[in-house]
Amino acid sequence: MDSFSNGAIAAAYLILPLTLIPLLQTAHREIRPNLLLAIAFIFSCGVGHTLTALHLHSNPWHWVTAIVSWAAVIVLLKSQRRLRYLGESFRLLEATWEESITGKILFQRVGKDLSILKINPAGRRLCQNLLAPGDRLCEKMPHHRQSVYPYSKPLIELYLETLATGESQQLNFQYDGEISGWYLTITTALSPKLLYMTFSELSEVVHDPLTKLYNRRILDIQSDCWQSCIYIDLDRFKLINDRRGHQIGNQLLIKIAKVLNRHAQHHHGIAVRVGGDEFLLMLPQADAEAAYTVATAVLAELLEVEIQGASISASIGIASGAIEGFEEDGHISGLLQAAETALRDAKGDRHSDLPQHRIQIWNQALADRRLRHITLEAYLRQRQSEAEFWLAYQPICHMMTGKIIGAEALIRWNSAELGTVAPSEFIPVAENTGLIHRISAWVLVHALEQLAEWQQIAPEFTLSINISPVELEDNEFIEEILQQVAAAGIAHGRFGIEITERGIYHNLDRYLQSLQSLRDTLVRLKVDDFGMGQSGLAQLLRFRFDEVKVDRGFIPSGPDDLEKLAICRAITNLAEGIQFGLTAEGIEQEIQREMMMKLGYVYGQGYLFARPMPAAALTTLLQTDSRLVQPPSSLQSS
């Protein structure tokens, strides 16, 4: 037995040195002799035990030694993976060490500082020989001892965090306040004591490669220098890119960038490309009027820019000085948000390319509107606001007989705090904040419940709800509509969905599938506010729909309204050819009803027939089979 335990100890001691070999490979030069000595010593212990085993001179303590030795072998074998990882990381580092154009530094943690073990040639060049092996990083670069951008944390803490999370951290740090002195750094912990960073000249990181303008990162760095922001968004750029190709698009962008850069330099500011076709001019003075003058000059020049016949226009938003209401986001972010809000406003005003239509300065009205949006959003977010919603139903009538053939569900919100809020006001807010999903789900459930009830009274009755275009991207919601309609036991074609033409047009490719799956089931698909989106039927005919609701903006006011008459007539002709139903929206006067009827419109909706009403009122009308209007007198007599 003794010889057996001695044999076991001997085997463990002989295997142990093998597990240390990877460590030997990755250790740095100074500790290599020590490691070699340790390996030789353990190995010689193994040989000694082998000899003892052969001579059978042992006692029970050999058992204890045997167990401890094997435990050591197991622990070391288990740490092999970690050692191998270290070995590979080092090999990788070594392979790209000399030629790399990014700076690389290997650090060792020493108390509250980081001591540099190695730095590659690119690293030395990038930090202008400021750092060398043996240097203490935090001591040498006092700025970082306090904080490392964008974290307001000392570098050492970031390092500890890297260790704790096992994730690389990205940090930028500054040592001279100069842009050229900034580096982007990735930190990786190799072991509890070892840290590895790569970094590159920040000037490469803050520039847009195509236009050579700054990119958005520059504003993180220079957050306090700028007092005015001119936010520029190119109009029609996507169209040019799609139709004329990226080559032309890119050339246009480069030319535009040159214009912007020249103006920026002239006014001691900077030009920044923040997105595909969005740019900023950041100026040092807080003077909105001066910024407007600059913007006007920029716009005039942008309108001149042309590449092979392709030209663009732009919308511009301006914000200056301290912006109220954005305090918590910080100065630069407030400035940017205000300018962008002004830009969106300018974007909506497409009357002409004149500065007064294309340039908008952040003003009190925009500030108020934004505040209103925030307030509406806050209330919409509260679940209890659902109790304040109700559905109004506006009848859709047979134009000739005045008989109710269906209705449209329109949401109403009587807020305890805000009073009555119109859907045209809160639906866009809900769409922008994603809250629309909850609202649509609520409308769907309640409208279907109501329709199931009305089906008992009037089997032919149809009901439609409005769906925001963004819902078409939500496959779950589309699924839900299909399921709920089936579950509510609604007869074929009695339930409809209205989607505005404008909404569909912008993203038709993305929506096609959702539109089709809605139509393939029981749902009647209606194109709402037709005429307003100006998409042209060629676009719309790419999917099948059942009905078009002509926007009330296109209903002629009288027989002299020739232009609208012509449009409505053209739509009827199309409807006959392509076989879709037609409803005229916003019929307010008898004359409109008569004209539309003559043009071939069979169904109508509008105040002339009825205003949106509570469900109970419509139930009464349906029960009594009421006619909302009498047939036109001109037709009665004949």
Binding site for Mg ion (CB under 5 A): 466, 498, 528-529, 585
Q: What does 612 bind: Mg ion, ligand C2E, none (CB cut-off 5 to 8 Å by kind)?
A: ligand C2E
Q: Candidates 606, 618, 629, 632: give the one binding ligand C2E (CB under 6 A).
A: 606
Residue 561 interacts with ligand C2E (CB under 6 A): yes or no: no
- Smallest distance from ligand C2E to CB 498, Å: 6
Q: Of 144-152, 226-234, 451-459, 462-470, which segment contacts ligand C2E by CB under 6 A?
A: 462-470
How many residues does the structure list for the chain? 638
Cis check: omega of the bond before 559, within 30 degrees of 0: no
Among 466, 488, 494, 548, binds ligand C2E (CB under 6 A): 466
Partner touching 468 among Mg ion, ligand C2E, none, CB below 5 to 8 Å by kind: ligand C2E
Task: Please state the closest distance from residue 581 (CB atom) to Mg ion, in A.
Answer: 14
Residue nearest to ligand C2E as judged by C-beta position = 606
Using the minimum distance from each CB to ligand C2E, give the nearer residue, 320 or 583: 583
Q: Which is nearer to Mg ion, 340 or 585 (CB)?
A: 585
Choices 117-125, 195-203, 350-358, 421-429; region in contact with ligand C2E by CB under 6 A: 421-429
What number of other Cβ atoms are within 10 A of residue 364's Cβ?
Answer: 8
Which of the listed partners (Mg ion, ligand C2E, none) does 443 bind, with a CB threshold of 5 to 8 Å by partner kind? ligand C2E
Beta bridge partners of 200: 184
CB of 396 to ligand C2E, least distance (A): 10
Query: Least Å distance between CB 453 and Mg ion?
Result: 21
Q: Among 108-116, 199-207, 237-245, 423-431, which window interacts with ligand C2E (CB under 6 A)?
A: 423-431
Least distance between Mg ion and beta carbon 549 (Å)? 5
Question: What's the gap between Cα 158 and its chain centre?
Answer: 28
**Least spacing, CB of residue 477 vs ligand C2E, in Å:** 12
- Asked whether the beta carbons of 360 and 572 are under 8 A apart, the reply is no
Give, for 320, the enclosing helix (H) or strand (E): strand 313-320
Q: Rounded to the nearest whole angstrom, what is the least distance from the CB of residue 466 to Mg ion in the complex? A: 4
**For residues 446 and 454, what is the distance between their CA atoms, to the nearest angstrom?**
12
The widest CA-to-CA distance across the chain, in whole angstroms, is 133
- 3-state SS of 33-69 is HHHHHHHHHHHHHHHHHHHHHHHCCCCCHHHHHHHHH
Alpha-carbon distance 279 to 233, whole Å?
Answer: 6
Residue pair 42/17 in contact by the 8 Å Cβ criterion: yes
Q: Which does 394 bind (CB under 5 to 8 A by kind): ligand C2E, Mg ion, none?
A: ligand C2E
The set of residues, in sequence order, having a beta carbon less than 8 Å from that of 96 and lying 6+ positions away, is 104
How far is Cα 362 from Cα 371, in angstroms, rounded to an integer?
Answer: 13
Asked if 607 is part of the footprint of ligand C2E (rule: CB under 6 A), the reply reads: yes
Element (H, E) at 269: none
- Residue 514 interacting with ligand C2E (CB under 6 A): no
C-beta of 345 vs 585, nearer to Mg ion: 585
Residue 612 binds to ligand C2E (criterion: CB under 6 A): yes
Q: How many whole angstroms from its chain centre is CA 193?
A: 39
> Do residues 482 and 521 make contact, with C-beta atoms less than 8 angstroms apart?
yes
| Contact call for residue 592 and ligand C2E (CB under 6 A) | no
Q: Which residue has the tokens 């190995």?
A: 43
The answer to the question of residue 424 lying near ligand C2E (CB under 6 A) is yes
How many CB atoms neighbour CB 290 within 10 A? 15
Site string for ligand C2E, 200-239 (x = CB under 6 A): ----------------------------------------
Separation between Cα atoms, residue 260 and residue 142, nearest integer Å: 37
Q: Measured between alpha carbons, how far is 439 from 422 in angstroms, rounded to an integer?
A: 14
Among residues 136, 135, 140, 195, the alpha carbon closest in space to that of 171 is found at: 195
Which residue, among 628, 568, 551, has the nearest Cα to 394 in the 3D structure? 628
Q: Of the two residues 201 and 431, which places its CB atom closer to ligand C2E in the complex?
A: 431
Regarding 468 and contact with ligand C2E (CB under 6 A), the answer is: yes
* Smaller CB separation from Mg ion, 90 or 554: 554
Residue 588 binding partner per list Mg ion, ligand C2E, none, with a CB distance cut-off of 5 to 8 Å that depends on partner kind: ligand C2E
Q: Which is nearer to ligand C2E, 312 or 443 (CB)?
A: 443
423 binds ligand C2E (CB under 6 A): yes
Q: Which of 214, 528, 540, 580 binds ligand C2E (CB under 6 A)?
A: 528
| Residue 463: both structure tokens together | 């009901």
CA angle 461–463–466, rounded 5-degree value: 165
CB of 253 to Mg ion, least distance (A): 38
The reply to whether 464 sits near ligand C2E by the rule CB under 6 A is: no
Minimum Å gap between C-beta 541 and Mg ion is: 20
Contact 252, 312 (CB under 8 A): yes
Closest CB to Mg ion among residues 208, 498: 498
- 392 or 599: CB nearest ligand C2E: 392
**Residue 423, contacted partner among Mg ion, ligand C2E, none, CB below 5-8 A by kind:** ligand C2E
**Encoded amino acid at 126, one letter:** L
Q: Which of 588, 602, 617, 631 binds ligand C2E (CB under 6 A)?
A: 588
The yes or no reply on residue 480 touching ligand C2E (CB under 6 A) is no
| Torsions phi, psi for 281 (to 5 deg) | -115, 120
Residue 428 interacting with ligand C2E (CB under 6 A)? no
Tokens of 460: 């032919």
Shortest distance in whole angstroms from residue 598 CB to ligand C2E: 19
Q: How many helices (H) and strands (E) does the chain have?
A: 26, 21
By the rule CB under 6 A, 353 interacts with ligand C2E: no
For residue 186, which phi and psi values (nearest 5 degrees)?
-110, 130
Q: How far is the CB of 525 from ligand C2E (least distance, A)?
A: 14
Q: Count Cβ atoms below 10 Å from residue 217 Cβ, excluding itself.
A: 17
- Positions in 400-419 near ligand C2E (CB under 6 A): 410-411
Cα–Cα distances in Å, from 623 out to 64, 454, 456, 619? 97, 9, 10, 6
Nearest-approach distance from CB 408 to Mg ion, in angstroms: 5
Alpha helices in 274-389 (DSSP H): 288-304, 331-348, 355-358, 364-381
Helix (H, G, I), strand (E, B) or coil at 292: helix
- Using CB under 6 A, which of 120, 241, 394, 450 touches ligand C2E? 394
Binding site for ligand C2E (CB under 6 A): 394, 410-411, 422-424, 427, 443, 465-468, 498, 528-529, 552, 586-588, 605-607, 612
